Structure 1
Amino acid sequence: MSVRATGAARVAGVVGRPIAHSLSPVIHGAWIEAAGLDALYAPFSPQDEPAFERLVRGFRGGVVAGLNVTAPFKERALALSDEADPVAIRAGSANLLLFHEDGHVEARSTDGFGMIAAFAEQAPEVDLTARPAVVLGAGGAAKAAVAALLDAGSPEVRVVNRTIARAEELVFAFGERTRAFALADAERALDYAGVLVNAAAAGPVLALDHLPEGAAVMDMTYRPLKTALLQAAEARGLPTVDGLSMLINQAKPSFEALFGQAPPDIDVRAVALEALK
């Protein structure tokens, strides 16, 4: 049954640039309809960081319940908040902003939760605590991935980035159990690793020859669903985790925070896959 929003609808959305590719409106929209809520979930795409800041200022006071935040605004989202949960502070970025009626802006990070849940869902045989993890990228998504992997018990997280200085900055922020590698040195980073996570929007396809048997490969990208990296991992017989699983799992706590109830039990992955076609 389709639900028509009224003037009293609870409004939320997702903000990023570009944003037209985002499946978040599809996922949250399916949950809103299944739950019969008087609500809207809309995409927003400010041109640049100053425009994003104006958007956040304009939504203070709770006219909009909140926003999921995607690239390139995750780090700035945390900086613009008045309060933040410990996960967002540790990650150095936020993918969820909540606008309270008293004018306060609260930042949260559900990316790490979504990533770990995606591993449990699609590669349950992989022990995240057994061997080092490798994260490709050094932006907001990479920071959330590093924080989540450390919190999950990874013995070491190796950050690989084209610009070694960015990787070193990230490693410095986390301290122990992290190491920085230049992209040219990626093969050494993969030695004895148990997990490889691509958290770079346009990350290069690494040669996986040095990745041990049984290591899991995840790509946060979901357009295409089977990226070149995941195809290379499958060709080697390695377990893979796709970005759609992470997107859906990070969206679950976001939906509850935005609309005050857990998402309804529907096959939202099927809905998202249909939209991907």
Structure 2
Amino acid sequence: MTTPYAEVIGDPIAQSKSPAIHGYWIKKLGLDAEYRKCHVTPEELEGYIASRRNDPDWRGCNITMPHKQAVMPFLDRLEIGAELVGAVNTVTRRHNGALIGTNTDVGGFLEPLANALAQKHFFRMARIIGTGGAARAVVAGLAENGFTLVLAGRNPEKAQALLDEIDPEGEHHVAPLDHFAEPTDFTFDDREGCLDLIVNASPLGMEGQPPLALDFSHVPPGSVVYDIVTHPVDTPLLQAARAAGLRTIDGLTMLIGQAAIAFERFFGQAPPRDDGDAELRQILTP
């Protein structure tokens, strides 16, 4: 009797929290299933996909860096979300062996914003730091929800190309990374009825990385500050935002949210989240 399984692949892979997340849900539901991690180098990626395609027990995989774009030519079809973002973070295997690429990062990122997005606003603006793979999902999700975006990165030309690719009709703006580091004397207008986001979609502030330099004079009153970094979970950016009285969202929220979408695709059941992920978050932040 064989056991159905899914896994996460990447290079490196040791740091991935996905096995802990999916393993927790599998145990809670009492499923006869496994979730593994598999170290796959760029040179091994095509062979890995070919080998798993013919494995009837393999339900699919989550994909982390550096394979989110490189995997796309080896798949049979991309869902609309993956096409829009231009990156795949989840592959599922259909009964006929067809491999489908999707991107659950968008749904995971948007999940904690659902209540705010359900309301009507006069104006929605997001200031986003970062131009990598995670930023692509953030840009796509917010553009689809009517945000005007200011995208900041070390290379403004790369930021502009990203915006032009994902939302060419949008009236968005780019800025150099150091733009938000320097104080501004800009006076924000009445923000009543507006939705403002500050999103760190870069590795800045992650353990071992330089800190994110953000002067809070750039942050409109009432903003939601969202940092997708997961190590540490409570970043200096989030601490400063709370001290300023602002609502914050941490990276574990997005990580768990995107994993929940993938889990249901792999195993055909929604994961147990009745406690608001409190127990799982404790496991992930010992």
Range into which the TM-score falls when normalised by the shorter chain: 0.7 to 0.9
Q: How far has the Cα of 1:208 moved from its partner?
A: 2.2
**Residue 160 of structure 2: aligned partner:** 168
Q: How far has the Cα of 1:217 moved from its partner?
A: 0.9
Q: How far has the Cα of 1:115 moved from its partner?
A: 1.0
Q: Please state if 1:18 is matched with 2:26.
A: no
Distance 1:228 1:16 in 2: 28
Q: Deviations over 1:208-253 (max 9, x none)?
A: 2211111111111111110121112122221110111111111111
Q: How far has the Cα of 1:53 moved from its partner?
A: 3.0
**Residue 218 of structure 1: aligned partner:** 226
**Residue 272 of structure 1: aligned partner:** 281
Distance 1:258 1:129 in 2: 39
Q: How far has the Cα of 1:274 moved from its partner?
A: 2.6
Distance 1:129 1:41, change over 3 A: farther
Length-normalised TM-score, structure 2 = 0.84
8 Å CA contact retained: 1:12, 1:42: yes
Q: Please state if 1:251 is matched with 2:282.
A: no
Where structure 2 has 5 or more consecutive residues not aligned to the other structure, the ranges are 189-194, 206-211
What is the 5 A alignment of 1:2-41? 7-41=1-35
Equivalent of 1:179 in 173, 179, 186:
173
Equivalent of 1:58 in 51, 59, 63:
51
Q: Deviations over 1:13-36 (max 9, x none)?
A: 112233222221111111111111
Q: How far has the Cα of 1:106 moved from its partner?
A: 0.6
Length-normalised TM-score, structure 1 = 0.86
Equivalent AA in structure 2 for residue 249 of structure 1: G
Structure with higher Rg: it is 2
8 Å CA contact retained: 1:137, 1:198: yes
Count of residue correspondences? 267
Report % sequence identity: 34
8 Å CA contact retained: 2:90, 2:102: yes
Question: Which region of structure 1 is more displaced relative to structure 2, 237-246 or 169-178?
Answer: 169-178
Question: Which region of structure 1 is more displaced relative to structure 2, 50-59 or 223-232?
Answer: 50-59
**SS, match of residue 53 in structure 1:** helix
